[in-house]
Structure 1
Amino acid sequence: MESKLRSTLMASILWTTATAAPPASGPIKYTDLLNSTIPNAPTNLTNLFLPGLAPSELIQSSACKVYPEDANWPSDSAWEALNKVTDNRLLTRPSPQASVCYDGPLYDPEKCAELTATWSSSYSHYIDPVEMMSPVAQGMTCMPPNVFDSHNCTRGGFPAYVINATEPKHVQLGVNFARNTGVRLVVKNTGHDFLGKSGGKDALSIWTHHFKSIEYIEEYTDESLKWSGPAFKSGVGVQAFEIYKFAHEKGHSVVGGEGETVGVMGGYIQGGGHSPLTSLYGTGADQVLSFDVITAAGDFITANSTSYTDIFWAMRGGGGSTFGVATSVTVKAFPDHPTTASRFSFTSEKIGNETFWAGVRSYVDSFIPNADAGTYSYFTLIPNVWTGIFTFNMSPFFAPNKTLEETKALLQPWFTELGNLGITFDPNITHFDNYYDAWRSSFPLEVVSKVNATTSSRMFPRANFETADKREELYQNLRQSSENNRVQVHFNIKAVDPLNTDNAVNSAWRENILFAQQAVRWPVNGTAEEILRIRQEFQTGDMQRWRDISPGAGAYLAEADRLEPNFGQAFWGDKYDKLVELKRKLDPYDVFFATTSVGSERWKVHSVDGLPNENGKLCRVDAE
């Protein structure tokens, strides 16, 4: 069923990509638009859509964003006007997908069974206007009972209204409406973010998924960015499988995520973005040549190295849903190249735990030379608390622009050590004549997060691998996490930008050799108090061990825990003070907010159960 779902969706979306026209540009003639769509409307209604207006004193002094139970919640006529000016693209209280599983007008047991069968697939979520791929961050208030029994279906952290935007003017009008009414605003592309930043209880959401145009630019020159060569201008809704295919057909590749359904031009690229090509070309944000952006004032601008340079600097690594809403992004294109990949696994079942861990330890010695060679390895360490067996999965070792022989030479020192230890495995080394086929054949489909787990991350710098003692220290900490029943996902990668681009990307990426993640789990039916305690102990325990051995390093803002302490330093390092200053300048009324985003410490979500999720009002911290 999942295969059929994926093939149908891909066929539909690839057709849309190939045929979609570039989005309309130019300033909105607000007076003409409002007169034609809501004629004879009173001034207090039309003012809701005008740009550049500071919110009223009432909104500026309000302790919280505006919610349905508040007296100044927009009237039905205001919402209807928003629908009209956005070409009838406003969705009113779109139902969570799992509504079909619970008593009510949408109950449908057959549809519930179909949904349950594909629930973990990202293909069943990114096409939905409200669903997030981190149900824990949503609040798990409407889940298929066989996945997690929420007992009923409530909206929880889902938005109340969604603008299914297809043109910049739809975004502008939504931003203006949210700013001028005080309603909480969120932005969703695909919903991949680990922290649930695309959700918000009773918010107005701008859904950018259908900005699907792609334009090939044969020659793009920007002397300030030291770039002269081909580029792609893509709508922010373009996903990895779309841009990679389009680039391949033009004989090129682009830096994007390994996950096929990730919206690479949205929050991914604005948050930095690591890639199978990062060890060659840098992060996703390093590739940006230009943004088309709607600002907090409702202006539609083009930000690049010579125009609106502050917002251009900030949006290359400063995080999505923070400084503006991008509608399209122009990125560098690179020549296509052959690629070699290797996928294999081994377990401790027959060789014993000590031999297994000796094999893992021998791999750590290869991290610096492999990253310096431009490769990208994606591997996991999986503990089984019931059997005591540990599993290592390489899925894959990815070597862009490497021949079969060159890749074998890189892997051979480690493979020799594994052989000497008596560890047998099938390396399955395969050579492809282009990047697209290698990528498509090598990486697993990303899944919707579990209902009883969350992930935290750390970037381990080169200093952690430069001596045998430091490598041993890091290995012991990874082993300790596995023995503490932490599932680990790792990326052996470096992210040094060859052109030394000045942007907001976390400086910790520039020294990174191992981007490491570990997950904490809790009982599926645990109480809120128990879950919070376990999550806090994870941060003060296993995660703190990782921080202690990598002082001054950081974490990746898109794959992290909402409880990350001192998130400003962790996610942006020495860039954070400048980013906070720019946030106050570019968005002085905090129109844009996302948990753990720049400046978000001024606000707090008061969740219903006290857990870190979006199921609650967003209020000012200084109003508590």
Structure 2
Amino acid sequence: MPGTRIKGQPPISTSRMLTSIILFGANSYASPVVPRSPSGLKHFVESSLEDLSSALTRLFSPHSSTPTNTRTSRCKVYPGDTAWPSDEAWSKLNELTENRLLVKPTPQAAVCYPNEAVYDAEECASLTATWNSSYSHYIHPIEMMSPVAQGMTCLPPNVFDTHNCTRGGFPLYVINATKPEHVQLGVNFARNTGIRLVVKNTGHDFLGKSGGKDALSIWTHHFKDIEYIEEFVDDKIGYSGPAFKAGVGVQAFEIYKAAYEKGKTVVGGEGETVGIFGGYIQGGGHSPLTSLFGTGADQVLSFDVVTANGTFVTANSTSYPDLFWAMRGGGGSTFGVATAVTVKAHPDMQTTASRFSFTSAKIGNETFWAGIRAYVDYFIPNADAGTYSYFTLIPNVWTGIFTFNMSPFFAPNKTLNETQALLQPWLSRLANLNISVDPNITHFDSFYTAWRSSFPLETVEKINATTGSRLFPRANFETEEKRDELYQNLRQSSENNRVQVHFNIKAVDPANADNAVNSAWRSNILFAQQAVRWPPNGTAAETLKIRQEFQTGDMQRWRDISPGAGSYLAEADRLEPNFGQAFWGSKYPRLLELKKKLDPEDVFFATTSAGSERWRVESVDGLPNENGKLCRVEA
């Protein structure tokens, strides 16, 4: 392939490969990880269909397409429709995928409901105790880390009593894929039958993109290979250096450890269980290293991907370049199903981190907010220095107390003294305000050890909240007047009882990377999130009203002071208006063109993805969730 080559024979790095055993009633299965080289695989082997009837062959053939009657019908095909695949067809899908098809996987919380066959009070108590931990969800084939997006139909009663357990927004069938061929079969079957297709890795997407009522899901979590490449050269991109090729199921804690063992690091998320090479990297992906190296999508050198027509291809700068461009930041579950990704590897580096907090309890609200205002003055210099700060502003509506948590101020490639010098101007101003903090500035010899020690474990989304986000550009911080304006808006959100999560970060543009990453990231200085909450037992109409008012109120205030900026598609509200501009800026028109070209039959759909304006989930309660049929938007 001209322009792209791998020098030498790359050694295989043995990472922490996971073998998961998941129980469904009396059935159990194991998912061993078998090292594979997708570059050596052939495309779909049509000979496997030779003994099938013509009707069944059509369902799995890469040359077939959605039948005219389902292609023009208002909704995707669902159980009870005449076009719904027969039991024989599902059985054949299971056979062709080497018995990897899971039928109606049981929601975890079903063990909490006496009318369910799997009821087990002891298991329910154990599940409830760990429900909020991402570790209790990512190993499951259908669980999403957003109960709100799922439809709130099956949760432990001590978390939220749904009175019974229904499937809601969960898929009906799951292919536990371990080979690209499994993915090809699933894509072909969905395209040729007109059923809804979803793709799930770890389920971290809080907008619910990894779920869909009565859908066929391709579960990619067990693509776990990690291969270290000594020197990867792409003349067109302008890169020559080390790289890692990893299956899309590889998570942050796995790739960071594998890179550390090679004296390297990679750009990935701060959350340890996030599937770095799936939706994270396809959505852009911000990182503790983004202020140094750019977004996760900026690191991609190559994708192994199954396209909407069922073809298994390698997409890079010279092969399928349009697909390569779109999948680097254009959103997951939209243009294809990746099975492996090759990314740049960077040298490991010393890192320094600081964690501290303060509240208004003893110092009063005005002094507290003076301390926050002082911090805003240092957002530009801190980001320009290559740091990444992750901090929260927590209001308590009952006590009137506000809390600031720095968790952490993360300074990759910085010595202890350099980090102290960056923090000292603000810390001195806090001291002058009589705000006492212990910055706990700690130096680590490597990025990996600093990361392991510094970041909190990500949790499952709350049952009565959703988050909106905004990418505040450098222009919001260049003058004292603009900094005052932004500070006042952050304070107003806290006083309106909005929990806020912030990242002081910039996304450098490495070698002017040409990809689909939201153009708003390139000028970002503060990636800001605020959450709206509603009464857990309120009506659907009441909840929707609160969510809509959040968008026209607090979120609109943030938009008004950052005209032309955007939002981050992986941490956002499903009700974000004009999401195409918000999530991709000037890149969106090209993404729409490529969606029509690469997936003309809309095999792939995810809420707020490119081209999703043509469809909507008609949820049973009218709320923005996956508990309903996916149907066309009528003109």
Q: TM-score range by the shorter chain?
A: over 0.9
Identity of aligned residues (%): 77
Query: Does the residue aligned with 2:512 lie in a helix, a strand or coil?
Result: coil
Task: Report the Cα offset of residue 20 of structure 1.
Answer: 4.0
User: For structure 1, which segment, 252-261 or 493-502, has the greater mean C-alpha deviation from structure 2 after superposition?
Assistant: 493-502
Aligned-partner residue type, residue 390 of structure 1: F
Instruction: Report what 2:177 is aligned to.
Output: 165
Matching residue within 272, 285, 291 for 2:297: 285
1:248 and 2:248 correspond: no
Q: CA–CA distance in 2 between the matches of 1:595 and 1:11?
A: 31
What corresponds to 2:613 in structure 1? Answer: 601
Of 60, 67, 75 in structure 2, the residue corresponding to residue 56 of structure 1 is 67
Equivalence for 2:24:
none
Task: Report Cα offsets for 1:47-102 as digits up to 9, x if no partner.
Answer: 11111322111121111000001011000000000000000000000000001011
Q: Does the Cα contact within 8 Å between 1:14 and 1:242 map onto a contact in 2?
A: no
Correspondent of 2:95 among 84, 99, 104: 84
**Counterpart in 2 of 1:260?**
272
Structure-2 residue corresponding to 1:5: none
Code of the residue aligned with 1:542 in structure 2: it is D
Cα contact 1:336–1:434 (8 A) shared by 2: yes
Q: 2:542 aligns with which of 521, 530, 552?
A: 530
Distance 1:75 1:580, change over 3 A: same
Deviation digits for residues 214-267 of structure 1, max 9, x if unmatched? 000000000111100000000000000000000000000000000000000000
In 2: Cα distance, 1:345 partner to 1:472 partner: 22
Aligned to 2:107: 96
| Structure 1 residue 13, shift from structure 2 partner | 5.8
Partners in 2 of 1:297 and 1:234 — Cα distance?
Answer: 24
Partner residue in 2 for 1:150 = 162
CA offsets 1:416-435 (integer angstroms, 9 cap, x no match): 00000000011000000000
Letter in 1 for 2:289: L
Q: 1:133 aligns with which of 145, 149, 161?
A: 145
Alignment of 1:573-612 (within 5 A): 573-612=585-624
Q: Which amino acid aligns with 1:293?
A: V
Q: Distance in 2 between matches of 1:12 and 1:140?
A: 30
Distance 1:571 1:106 in 2: 41
Name the SS for the 2:501 alignment partner.
Answer: strand
1:360 counterpart residue number: 372
Aligned position for 1:68: 79
Q: Which residue of 1 aligns with 2:36?
A: 22
Q: Which residue of 1 aligns with 2:516?
A: 504
1:3 equivalent in structure 2: none
Does residue 634 of structure 2 align to residue 619 of structure 1?
no
Instruction: Verify the 8 A CA contact 1:318 1:505 in the aligned structure 2.
Output: yes
Q: Equivalents in 2 of 1:375, 1:82: separation in Å? A: 49
Counterpart of 1:183 in structure 2: which amino acid? Answer: I
Number of the residue aligned with 2:131: 119
What residue in structure 2 maps to residue 418 of structure 1?
430
Specify the alignment match of 2:492 in structure 1. 480
Give the superposition deviation at 1:46: 1.4
Q: Distance in 1 between matches of 2:200 and 2:372?
A: 39
- Would you say the 8 A contact 2:190–2:196 is kept in 1? yes
Count of equivalent residues: 611
Kindly indicate whether residue 310 of structure 2 is the aligned counterpart of residue 298 of structure 1.
yes
User: Residues 475, 49 of structure 1: CA spacing in aligned structure 2 closer, same or farther, 3 A cutoff?
Assistant: same
Distance 1:131 1:245, change over 3 A: same
Aligned twin of 1:47: 58
1:584 shift after superposition: 0.1
- TM-superposition CA deviations, 1:262-290 (whole Å, max 9, x none): 00000000000000000000000000000
Q: Distance in 1 between matches of 2:241 and 2:43?
A: 33
Report what 2:4 is aligned to.
Answer: none
Instruction: Name structure 1 gaps, 5 residues minimum.
Output: 1-9
Tell me, yes or no, if the aligned pair for 1:282 and 1:495 is still in contact at 8 Å. yes
What one-letter code is carried by the residue in structure 2 that aligns with 1:65?
K
Q: Is the 8 A contact 2:20 2:139 kept in 1?
A: no
Task: Please give the root-mean-square deviation of Cα atoms over the aligned residues, in Å.
Answer: 1.6
Q: Equivalent residue of 1:455, what SS? A: strand
Structure 1 contact 562–612 (Cα < 8 Å) conserved: yes
Report the Cα distance in structure 1 between the residues aligned to 2:230 and 2:497, rounded to whole angstroms: 50
How far, CA to CA, are the matches of 2:165 and 2:299 in structure 1?
42
TM-score (norm 1): 0.96
- Where do residues 370-409 of structure 1 align in structure 2 (5 Å cutoff)? 370-409=382-421
Note the C-alpha offset of 1:560. Answer: 0.2
Unaligned segments of structure 2, at least 5 residues: 1-15, 22-29
Partner SS, residue 471 of structure 1:
helix
Kept in 1, the 8 Å contact 2:111–2:119? The answer is yes
Distance change >3 Å, CA 14–CA 281, structure 1 → 2: farther
- The aligned residue for residue 48 of structure 2 is 33
- Contact 1:215–1:234 under 8 Å retained in 2: yes
Contact kept, 8 Å, 2:200 with 2:219, in 1: the verdict is yes
